[in-house]
Amino acid sequence: MPMIIDGKAIAEKVKAQCRESIAALKSRGITPGLAVVIIGDDPASHAYVRSKVRTCEELGLHSLKIQKPSETSQEQLLEIIAELNADEAIDGILVQSPPPPHIDEGAVVRAIDPAKDVDGFHPLNVAKLAMDDDSGFVPCTPFGCQRLLIEHGIETSGARVVVLGRSMIVGKPMALLMMRNGIGGNATVTVAHSRTRDLASVTREADILIAAIGKPHLVTADHVKDGATVIDVGINRVVDSTTKSGYRLVGDVDFDAVAPKCSAITPVPGGVGPMTIAMLMANTIKSSQLRHRATS
């Protein structure tokens, strides 16, 4: 049986470290603050926001939730961001994705002060990631994936890593992170995607396969070599009439088929998901530390 990588346990470890950092900041009269802006009424987005706000309360961070109707204009949203950029009580800003179709998400990301961009999506933070500049913010999901590998003692240096997916949220920053010089990096990285020819032959080369393509159970046993580590980033809703909700969550990896071939694998749920929020909290604390160091 493979080692099941327990994201919940590692997320709790990250949050315990966050509590120590928050206590140190509060001893100086500083409370880190996170603002979450949500536009519209998408149920999944609201569930994610509730989790973020609840975690802030659990850790003792100041949280500000700004909820606006789906008719909110681009100009109105940019005004909200400008106010948050200027708010000294706020260290981190995120606008819950996806916004309504009329909102230019790229323009919204660029409007956030890079020093408060705890999602790590601003072009300046992406550049810092590419340049191995630790003063920037790493996107939370890739950051969490790397932390899982480190905490479980999975060697990345010299390993062949295949990242399945090329989004700016996970795939591209994940590849950059795995190539970085340092702990949890120094890997030889291939990025595969929906247009990759003979995908299974590419993914079978991976010592570490990170699946983040958003297609339920795309990765089957044929895609994975014996002894590989598999990190499943996918969170997909599939219809299941046997559940109360009428659906269940599955990953991009067919867990039952793939797990017997692996040395280690993340489950869905309970793998990468808890890490994303934990790393968001860590990024918010880092922002507070950097901002108050600059002004002290």
Q: Is the pLDDT of residue 166 over 60?
A: yes
Percent of the chain predicted with pLDDT > 70: 99
pLDDT digits (tens, 9 = 90+) for 224-240: 999 999 999 999 888 88
Cβ-count burial of 129 within 10 angstroms (0-12 exposed, 13-18 middle, 19+ buried)?
A: buried
pLDDT digits (tens, 9 = 90+) for 19-34: 999 999 999 999 999 9
Closest residue by Cα to residue 18 from 274, 276, 282: 282
Q: Which residues of 154-170 are buried (b: 16+ CB within 10 A; e: fewer)?
A: bebeebebbbbbbbebb
Between CA 288 and CA 181 the distance in angstroms is 26
SS (H, E, C) 156-182: CCCCEEEEECCCCCCHHHHHHHHHCCC
Q: What is the mean pLDDT of residues 204-214?
A: 97
Q: Is 120 left (phi over 0), alpha (psi -120 to 50) or beta?
A: left
* Residue 224 confidence (pLDDT): 98
Q: 211 pairs with which residues across the strands?
A: 164, 232
Domain parsing of the chain, residue ranges: 29-115, 140-274
* Residue 147 confidence (pLDDT): 98
Between CA 156 and CA 174 the distance in angstroms is 13
Q: What is the mean pLDDT of residues 72-93?
A: 98
**15, 52, 128, 172: which is the annotated catalytic residue?**
52
Query: Structure tokens of 179?
Result: 């190539």
* Residue 296 confidence (pLDDT): 47
pLDDT digits (tens, 9 = 90+) for 262-277: 999 999 999 999 999 9
**119, 207, 252, 254: which is the annotated catalytic residue?**
119
Annotated catalytic residue 240: no
pLDDT digits (tens, 9 = 90+) for 134-162: 999 999 999 999 999 999 999 999 999 99
Annotated catalytic residue 146: no
Q: Is the pLDDT of residue 294 over 70?
A: no
**Mean pLDDT computed over every residue of the chain:** 95
Q: Is the pLDDT of residue 122 over 80?
A: yes
Would you say domain 140-274 falls under CATH 3.40.50.300?
A: no
Annotated catalytic residue 52: yes
Q: What is the mean pLDDT of residues 290-294?
A: 83
pTM of the model: 0.95
pLDDT digits (tens, 9 = 90+) for 38-74: 999 988 888 889 999 999 999 999 999 999 999 999 9
Fold of 29-115: Rossmann fold (3.40.50)
Angle separating helix axes 7-26 and 140-151, nearest 10 degrees: 110
**15, 91, 96, 116: which is the annotated catalytic residue?**
96
Q: Do domains 29-115 and 140-274 have the same CATH topology?
A: yes
